[in-house]
Structure formats: C-alpha cells, structure tokens
Amino acid sequence: MRALDLIVKTRDRGILTAEEIRFLINGYLDGSIPEYQISAWLMSVFFVGMDAEQIGHLTREMIRSGDTLRLPRRDIPYVDKHSTGGVGDKVSLILAPAVAACGVPVPMMSGRALGHTGGTLDKLDTIPGYSTHLSPDEFVSVIEQCGFAMTGQSDRVVPADKRLYALRDVTGTVESVPLITASIVSKKAAEGAQALVFDVKCGKGAFMKTIEEARELAESLVSTCRALEIRAVAVITSMEAPLGYAVGNFLEVEESLAVLRSVDADPRSRDLVEVTVRLGSWMLVAAGVVPDVAAGEKMVRDALTSGAAADVFRKNVAAQGGDNSKLDAMLGTFRPKIEETVTSDADGVVVGIDAFRVGMAGVYLGVGRSVATDAVLPDVGVVLHVKPGDRVKPDDPICTVFAATRDAAARARQELDGAFDVASDREYEPKPIIREEITAL
C-alpha cells in the first residue's frame, strides 16, 4: 500500500477502506508518510469530500491514536455538549451545572478562543484558583463530587487531531465538513461521552454563515455519531447577533452567574437562556431522564429557577480549586482601567447587531486570539446595553467598551461603529434563534 495511490484514489472520488485510512493516519503519526503527502490527501478530501462511512473510519482511527478516558459505569449515561463557536457564547457555564443538577453527569472537555469566537477555558481561567488542567483521575473525581467537570484536552487524547489540525491550518483545508466532523466527534468520543448534543451556530458570527452550511455539518455530526453508536442531537442556532449581553472572558462569567442567580432578571439574556434550556432539554432526552423535549425544558428551567444549578456551579468551582468568595468579590469590580460608552447616533429600532464585528472588537481588546499562541486578557470586553428589537434615540448608550489601552479601545470602537443597525423606516422582524434540530436517538 502506498500513500500516493490513496491520494489519487481520493482525488478520483474513490472510497477508502478502514484499512487504507488507518494506513494514512498511522503513517503520518509514525513519520513514514511525509507531511506533503498528507497535505495532498487533505486537499483531496477538501475538494471531493467523504461519505459517511469514510468519515466514520477516519473518526475511529483518530480516537485510536491516543488515550480514551475510562469513566466509571453509571445508570445514567454521560452526556456532553459541543458548540461550533460564536460571540458571547457562554452557554456551557450555565448548561453544565443545570444539566448536572437534573442528575445527568457532564464530562466537558472545552477549548480556547480562536479568532472572533470565545473559548470556555479562557472564561474559567478568570476564576481565582480554578484549574482547567485536570488529570483523568481528577476529572472523574470532580464529576463524582458535583456532577460535571470542565478541563482542557490532554495531549494524549486524540493526538492525530492535533497534528492534522495544525496541518490543515497552514494548508487551507480547515473548512472541510468531513474533517471538521472527525475532529469534533473523535475528541468527544475519547472523553467518554455516551451521548452528545451539538450546538451548530449559523450566521454572521459563526463559522457556518448559512443555514445550508450549518445543516450539512449538523447532519454529518449526527450521522457519524450514529455510526459510532453514540446518541446524538444537533441543534442549529442563530449567531447573527451576540448571545446575551457580555462579550469578554470575565464579563461572560458575570453574565452566567447573573442567569444562574435569577434566570429571567435581565431581558438581554433571554436568547442565552432560550438556547441553554433547549440544549439542556435535549441532553436530558439523550440521557433517557425525560421522555421528550417539553419535559426536559421544564426540568432544566426548574433547576435554574430553584437555585439548584447555581449551587452545583459553586460546588464545581470549589472542586476544581477555585475560590467562590474571591469570585463574588470580583463581580462588578473586576474591570480594566479604561471604560468608554458608545452611544447611538440615530433614532429608531435596533434591527441587527453584527456578531462578527462585535467579536472582532473583542479580538482587538484582547478577548480572543488572532493565532493560537496569542495571550488573552481576563477583564476586557464589550457589554451590550441594547439587543435587536430595542428602541434607541440619539445619544442613548448602546454598549460599553472595557479596554486595557486607549489604542485598543479606539480600534474596538471603529469596529463597533458599524455593528449596530438602527432603522427608522422599518420594524424589527424577529427570527427564531432555534433554527433546526436533527436527531439520532
């Protein structure tokens, strides 16, 4: 068997067998197949795609490339959620404790910010003492203590994905649905999750800009999970505007805590709550705890309104080394030295807030990363004072910028100046934030 033959076979739309895909992955990892040949194969996949069977073979080989987490057997299956990334997406911080409070264990391996999209680990790192680097034994112990745990991916889990992603990143092959699918599902399967709920974002602030692109990825994720005998649901949600009102690492922790303490107190968080409750309900359905989504939504909302989810969150902070007292003291006070308010220059209705532009403003402030090695700042960001559908007059505050330097604030404000669409000649037409749902349960 030769790598060249498999490159040509893929290029010519041939179907690779499990053995052939294993040969490519193992050869890349052991050095017997050079990067230039794997790059050529990745580009072939990028242009011609893969069918569901090949994606399943690739995902299995990526899982086998490293360690898999052995979670203790339980009567209720372990369920995790994965988001394809968005702006203001702090769903995991509310969702994990809410679902855990309903009795479903949540093993969550999360990522960091890249580009205009935020990362859960960067948010958690702002909590004093909180450890996002748990050993497998610590990960299991935290789940046993409070029902969920959050950690970063170990280098020993799916090393093939790390190697392949680095190569895709420099060869123009990132935006490939088969390769994205194998990357996501392999990591989630290796962490021990028995059921998965995917939040596939679509819109200006998402990697998938159109509903058609999002649907293609959602269907691929669900079908691959089906091949691996993992129960799965993909929920396509809108990312035209930022989710909630906070964009920034600690700012998003603050908003999450506000929702956990009083779920309906701030109308600016209404979309965040809607997405969280819907995803949580599907996690409960996937775990077999409730018979349908309606029952799941009630159970998740009850966990939020009763304070049970907030209690689980605080238990998790303590279990992962965090200091709840210091966290409480930071609320409303942990801010950088520069604070600037952006005001409206128009009279009318906010008909849109461009999530991508708000996300890029965050990158300029230090919320996100342009490249994976960039550092992020914990206290900077943007707080929205209005959401789509709100009325504004000239000089009304529409958002506040929190910055470390005047230059960063100025760059962010330039981006934000074009982010708010205020119309005096048309009404706001709300669109559903939950767009479509695809299941394999």
pLDDT attached to residue 113: 60
Determine, yes or no, domain membership for 250: yes
Distance of alpha carbon 329 from alpha carbon 321, whole angstroms? 17
* Domain, as residue range, for 176: 79-328+435-440
In this structure, the strands spanning 148-152 and 397-403 are unpaired
Distance of alpha carbon 86 from alpha carbon 241, whole angstroms? 9
Give yes or no: 204 in active site: no
Residue 90 token pair? 């702090």
Write the CA distances from 128 to 94, 285, 311, integer angstroms.
Answer: 18, 34, 18
Distance of alpha carbon 392 from alpha carbon 373, whole angstroms? 40
Q: What is the pLDDT of residues 30-74, one digit of tens each?
A: 999 999 999 999 999 999 999 999 999 999 999 999 999 889 988
Sort residue 192 into left (φ over 0), alpha (ψ -120 to 50) or beta. left
Confidence of residue 375 (pLDDT cuts 50, 70, 90): confident
Mean pLDDT of the chain: 95
In this structure, the answer to whether residues 44 and 103 fall within a common structural domain is: no
Read off φ and ψ for residue 225, nearest 5 degrees.
-60, -40
Cα dihedral across residues 189, 195, 199, 200: positive or negative: positive
Give the single-character DSSP code of 16.
P
Q: What is the pLDDT of residues 280-306, one digit of tens each?
A: 999 999 999 999 999 999 999 999 999
pLDDT attached to residue 70: 86
Residue with tokens 């309104």: 305
For the chain, what is the domain count?
3
| Residue 313 burial class via C-beta count within 10 angstroms: exposed 0-12, middle 13-18, buried 19 and up | buried
- Percent of the chain at pLDDT > 70 equals 99
Q: How many Cα atoms occupy the beta-carbon half-sphere of 2 within 13 Å?
A: 3
Determine, yes or no, domain membership for 62: no
Residue 329 token pair? 């003291």
Residue 424 token pair? 């005096």
Residue 394 token pair? 């000239």
Q: How many Cα atoms occupy the beta-carbon half-sphere of 420 within 13 Å?
A: 28
Question: Does residue 75 surpass a pLDDT of 70?
Answer: yes
Choosing from 161, 199, 271, 354, which is the catalytic residue? Answer: 161
User: Which pTM value belongs to this model?
Assistant: 0.94
pLDDT attached to residue 218: 98
Non-local CB neighbours of 435 within 8 Å, separated by 6+ positions: 202, 211, 214, 236, 237, 238
Determine, yes or no, domain membership for 127: yes
Q: Span 402-426, mean pLDDT? A: 96
Question: Does residue 370 surpass a pLDDT of 80?
Answer: no
Give yes or no: 161 in active site: yes
pLDDT attached to residue 372: 66
In this structure, the answer to whether residues 144 and 17 fall within a common structural domain is: no
Choosing from 112, 168, 204, 411, which is the catalytic residue? Answer: 168
Q: What is the pLDDT of residues 198-241, one digit of tens each?
A: 999 999 999 999 999 999 999 999 999 999 999 999 999 999 99
Distance of alpha carbon 433 from alpha carbon 274, whole angstroms? 8
In this structure, the answer to whether residues 283 and 155 fall within a common structural domain is: yes
Choosing from 131, 183, 238, 281, which is the catalytic residue? Answer: 183
Number of CB atoms found within 10 A of residue 26's CB: 15
In this structure, the answer to whether residues 353 and 302 fall within a common structural domain is: no
Number of CB atoms found within 10 A of residue 292's CB: 10
In this structure, the answer to whether residues 314 and 388 fall within a common structural domain is: no
In this structure, the answer to whether residues 214 and 255 fall within a common structural domain is: yes
Number of CB atoms found within 10 A of residue 364's CB: 22
Determine, yes or no, domain membership for 69: no
Identity of residue 373: T
Distance of alpha carbon 279 from alpha carbon 92, whole angstroms? 10
Choosing from 82, 204, 268, 315, which is the catalytic residue? Answer: 82
pLDDT attached to residue 64: 95
Q: What is the pLDDT of residues 165-199, one digit of tens each?
A: 889 988 999 889 999 999 999 999 998 899 999 99
Determine, yes or no, domain membership for 193: yes
Determine, yes or no, domain membership for 71: no
pLDDT attached to residue 114: 66
What is the end-to-end Cα distance of the chain in Å, rounded? 38
Residue 305 token pair? 């309104």
Q: In this structure, what CATH number is given to the domain that contains residue 399?
A: 3.90.1170.30
Residue with tokens 């893929």: 10
In this structure, the strands spanning 195-202 and 79-83 are parallel
Q: Span 129-147, mean pLDDT? A: 95
Give yes or no: 12 in active site: no
Determine, yes or no, domain membership for 414: yes
In this structure, the answer to whether residues 180 and 146 fall within a common structural domain is: yes
- Percent of the chain at pLDDT > 90 equals 88
Give, in degrees to the nearest 5, the angle at Cα 313 between 310 and 316.
155
